[in-house]
Amino acid sequence: MVEAAERPIAEGLFVETTEGPRLIGSRCRDCGTVTFPKQNSCAYCAGADSEEHLLAPRGELWTWTVQRFRPKTPPYNGPEEFEPFGVGYVELPGECRVESILTTADPEELRIGMEMELTLIPATGPNGEAARTFAFAPAGPPTERNER
């Protein structure tokens, strides 16, 4: 787990609730379209009346890959000693498909359709400071918390 003192990599991206982290999206009050990150206008109906909407913390892996070379800096702020990481889109039912780092980079552990769960992982902020960002991890069997 990351230290509570570490700042989110960006404001307005996710919050921590008593039931775990949640991504902050937006929902169009006119047509119900959900987007992440939150935005003021709707890409579907062009409506300009959106409300903040916390996205579901679990969903299904829609697709995935593994980032196997170190991305260029800037903009990448990760460590010089690069470790490959998984990347995927997770479909949150009825909301949207969110692109995310995955907590595993092992193709054997990844398959389309598997259950994934939101978590927070260490990251490096714009000035080299320790921060945290969101990621999805393969979900265990549903727990009492997740069923609620």
Partner 1 sequence: MSEDVAIVGTGLHPFGRHPGVSGLEMAAIAAREACVDAGVKWEDIEFSAGGSEAAGNADTSVSLLGLTGIPFINVSNGCATGGSALTTAHAMIVAESADLALVVGFDKHPHGAFNLLPEEWGIGSWYGETGLMLTTQFFAMKIQRYMQLYGISDATLAKVASKAFSNGARNEKAWRRQPISAEEVAGSRMISDPLTQFMFCSPGEGAAALVLAKGEKASSMPVDPVYLRSVAFRTRKFGSFEVLSPSIPVEDGVPPTTEAARAAFEEAGIGPEDIDVAQLQDTESGAEIMHMAETGLCADGEQEQLIAEGATEIDGRLPVNTDGGCLANGEPIGASGLRQVVEVVEQLRGRAGDRQVPNDPKVGFTHVYGAPGVSACTVISR
Q: Which of 116, 113, 122 is nearest to 56 (CA)?
A: 116
Give the shortest CB-118-to-partner 1 separation in angstroms: 13
Residue whose CB is less far from partner 1, 18 or 111: 111
**Contact footprint for partner 1 (CB under 8 A):** 9-10, 13, 25, 33, 35-37, 43-44, 62-69, 71-72, 74-78, 85, 87-89, 91-99, 101, 107, 112, 123-126, 133
Give the shortest CB-47-to-partner 1 separation in angstroms: 13
Omega before 71 within 30 of 0, i.e. cis: no
CA distances from 32 to 8, 9, 40, 92, 138 (A): 27, 28, 13, 14, 28
Residue whose CB is less far from partner 1, 36 or 139: 36
Residue whose CB is less far from partner 1, 17 or 65: 65
CA distances from 46 to 36, 40, 144 (A): 16, 10, 39
The amino acid occupying position 107 is P
Residue whose CB is less far from partner 1, 25 or 117: 25
Give the shortest CB-16-to-partner 1 separation in angstroms: 16
Q: Which of 68, 71, 31, 74 is nearest to 50 (CA)?
A: 31
Give the shortest CB-134-to-partner 1 separation in angstroms: 9
Residue whose CB is less far from partner 1, 29 or 68: 68
How many residues in the chain?
148
Give the shortest CB-144-to-partner 1 separation in angstroms: 27
Tell me how crowded residue 134 is: count the other CB atoms within 10 A of its CB: 21
